Structure 1
Amino acid sequence: MIDSTAFLTDVGKVRSHNEDNGGIFVSPVGTLVVVADGMGGHSAGDIASKIATEVLESEWNKMSPPLKAIDAETFLLDSFKRANEAIITYAQQHPECEGMGTTAIAAVCTEEYTAIAHVGDSRAYVYNGIKISQQTEDHSLVAELVRSGQITEEEAEHHPRKNVVLRALGTDPDVSIDVFILQSDLINVLIICSDGLSNKLKASEVQAEIERGVKLSEVAESLIAQANDRGGEDNITIALVRFNEEISESL
């Protein structure tokens, strides 16, 4: 049972405008969570992330119950591909937006399962009531260097090319999309965020905030405030979904 949700995005302390987008969209089918981190500078990044969010929401509104896990995977893959095509088409029609793109992560949350798809370095974490664990692998240069053993995780923290993303919507007609299924009864809180948050806070710090026992909206506000306190160089976006009533939202 989905108990509560929260979504919050912030421009940060340095950027002049917010290129992040997303939202939480509830329907009879379930709950769709989207976080998109645009790139391309000027107004292009926020256009790309807005297109991705709007395509996902539009496709979601067409779905009707019941939706099996395999159907949710298909929905996510198809919607990501449509969003990718829409961003590429827009850029072709608007030369000033050439080269724009966006990371994208989306989750279809139901009582039985949670389907997650992602492209880029926005992340999904799961808190199971005991510990938090990262569920996605970053599609970034430094993550690939860490996986191949060329640099350590500590070196990745301050790598000069930390912001280089290897996959994004809008940059390649044949984008590769990761998609997987989790059991919802093993999730206490699902956390989805842009790298503006994950670059500033450790997973253990996110867990500590969740375990304070406050409303999810307060958790989101506190985490974004902490990211801003540590520099806030990037836009910051977080979405939270609590799957049970273990921690009361009446607190």
Structure 2
Amino acid sequence: MIQINTSMPFVGFIDSRQGGRKENQDSCGYVDTALGLLIVVCDGMGGGPGGKLASSLAVEAIIQSIQVCDPSVSRIEAVQQAVQQANRLLYIKVKENPHLKGMGTTAVLLLINEYSAVVAHVGDSRCYLFRGGRKVFRSFDHSLVFEMVKNKTLTEEQARLSSQSNVITRALGIQPEVEAEVAELAYEKGDRFMLCTDGIWGVFPEKMIVQIASQTKSPAGAVESLVIKVDEQGFASGGTHDNLTVTLIETTSNSIKKEKMSTKTRNILIGLSALCCISLAGNVIQLIQVPQEKTVVDESKVDQEYMDSVLDRRMKDALGKMEADFREKLDIINKKVEEKNFEELEKYVDESKHKMEIIDQLDKIIAQLEELKKMKEGTEKNKKLSQTKEEFEVLAPSLKEYGITENEKVTGVVSWLSNSIAQKDTDKSQGHYIAIIKKIDEYKDKIRKSE
């Protein structure tokens, strides 16, 4: 393993190993240029000396092209030109030397400066971007199996394990022209960029690769851990495993370029805002519909001003509580947006929707209880009572997800509804229903406040 020697604000390491093969046909290189720190990784292919020759020539050609490139040229254009030059060099080499027929190479490169990172690839050598211990970007392989992944014929794990996983659809040196897939990425302090050949990513499920590369404390430790584990697995499986090359770069500041909000993220935020508004509207409707506690007042003292003050106070208290709940939701949303924790944001949307669905069902049960409280004793009341009890029993397992267990009298609500007093239409039965409604309101509050 070697440390990348750069004057730019990045820390990086590279390691390349032979694996179980007779020769290491992977090549890699790096250099500081006027356009940024350039790192190139190539995985050669072809019989005899062709694979190693192809990868080493491609690395040299790409580096040289970027080094002499006019600084006024956009970095995306510079990268495309460099890949084209390397491709033409290899293509001509094969034409001039028939014994090199079939020679070619993949390529993945990173050109990073203080403004942004430009990544490009041809074939199945990959670039990853990790942030906060998670994968936030990965290049898409130019391979037969990844076309099947794209068409949803295979999962990515099935593609990795497929016997055709080494069949690539794009490479340098095979056709007179080739187009690199290029992306410009913003980055944040502490982000990690990883370039690697399939000898790294093809050995373990991606989840494990991501965990080692992104969560190991130091970039040097991550590189060392990856190559050791891959080699150990390869030798344990017969010692015929592929060459393996990996480079890891860690940033020390935020890029000048800022990340644009994706359509998916924007839709998540719109959904969250809608959830907050629906929740607020639901609370207002509930405030209007649910009867308030009776206040006994001497009729001679009742005037409009007094009634207005009572209603105003109750309304302000209720709206204050709703506003606090609304602001709490927005604070959570803002925090996750600032952290760019979009997976957690999406999870929060799903959980919020689930909570609202349960609370909505509880509200329907409360509405039925309000009706039952007013109904006269008889067959109709018994029928509706039985229906309400069944609906609550169906809902009970969902309540347990929020820590509302039998110890908190979930079954108590059912038993209260089964009590003969629930069938009556006396003052005592009305008090019985009020107690049940109060208990269900407590469940709703607990669900709202759950993490």
> TM-score normalised to the size of structure 2?
0.51
SS in 2 for 1:41: coil
Instruction: Compare CA radii of gyration and give the structure with the larger one.
Output: 2
Alignment of 1:125 with 2:131, yes or no, is: no
Alignment of 1:180 with 2:183, yes or no, is: yes
The Cα shift of 1:64 comes to 5.8
The Cα shift of 1:226 comes to 0.9
Higher helix content, 1 or 2: 2
1:102-251 equivalences under 5 Å are 102-185=105-188, 188-209=191-212, 210-214=214-218, 216-231=219-234, 233-244=241-252
Q: Distance in 2 between matches of 1:230 and 1:82?
A: 37
Q: Distance in 2 between matches of 1:236 and 1:2?
A: 27
**C-alpha distance after superposition, 1:68-107 (max 9, x if no partner):** xx71101110010000000011111222111110000111
Over the matched positions of the two proteins, sequence identity in percent amounts to: 30
- For 1:8, give the aligned amino acid: D
The Cα shift of 1:187 comes to 6.5
1:30-69 equivalences under 5 Å are 30-63=36-69, 65=71
SS in 2 for 1:6: strand
Match of 2:94 among 91, 96, 100: 91
SS in 1 for 2:183: strand
1:10 — aligned with what? 17
Change in CA separation of 1:240 and 1:64 when aligned onto 2, cut-off 3 Å: farther
Alignment of 1:78 with 2:84, yes or no, is: no
- For 1:152, give the aligned amino acid: T
Q: Distance in 2 between matches of 1:75 and 1:108?
A: 10
SS in 1 for 2:66: helix
CA contact (8 A) 1:111 1:184 kept: no
**C-alpha distance after superposition, 1:18-66 (max 9, x if no partner):** 110112212343100111000112210111111110001111221465x
The Cα shift of 1:3 comes to 2.9
Q: Distance in 2 between matches of 1:113 and 1:51?
A: 27
- For 2:197, give the aligned amino acid: S
Unaligned runs of 5+ in 1: 247-251
The Cα shift of 1:162 comes to 1.2
The Cα shift of 1:154 comes to 3.5
CA contact (8 A) 1:113 1:181 kept: yes
Q: Distance in 2 between matches of 1:184 and 1:51?
A: 30
2:320 — aligned with what? none
Change in CA separation of 1:181 and 1:94 when aligned onto 2, cut-off 3 Å: same
- For 1:120, give the aligned amino acid: G
Change in CA separation of 1:116 and 1:85 when aligned onto 2, cut-off 3 Å: same
**C-alpha distance after superposition, 1:168-212 (max 9, x if no partner):** 000111212211100133761101100100001344333433423
Q: Distance in 2 between matches of 1:243 and 1:171?
A: 35
Higher strand content, 1 or 2: 1
Unaligned runs of 5+ in 2: 1-7, 236-240, 255-451
Q: Distance in 2 between matches of 1:151 and 1:129?
A: 29
2:347 — aligned with what? none
Q: Distance in 1 between matches of 2:9 and 2:141?
A: 27
Change in CA separation of 1:203 and 1:150 when aligned onto 2, cut-off 3 Å: closer
CA contact (8 A) 1:30 1:108 kept: yes
1:249 — aligned with what? none
How many equivalent residue pairs? 241
- For 2:56, give the aligned amino acid: K
**C-alpha distance after superposition, 1:214-240 (max 9, x if no partner):** 3x2332122011111121611100111
CA contact (8 A) 1:20 1:36 kept: yes
Change in CA separation of 1:245 and 1:187 when aligned onto 2, cut-off 3 Å: closer
CA contact (8 A) 2:94 2:101 kept: yes
CA contact (8 A) 1:132 1:204 kept: no
Q: Distance in 1 between matches of 2:196 and 2:149?
A: 21
SS in 1 for 2:16: strand
Tell me: higher relative CO, structure 1 or 2? Use CA pairs within 8 A at least 6 residues apart.
1
Deviates more, 1:56-65 or 1:25-34: 56-65
SS in 2 for 1:91: helix
CA contact (8 A) 2:26 2:55 kept: yes
SS in 1 for 2:223: helix
SS in 1 for 2:24: coil
SS in 1 for 2:31: strand
**C-alpha distance after superposition, 1:142-164 (max 9, x if no partner):** 11112112223343232121110
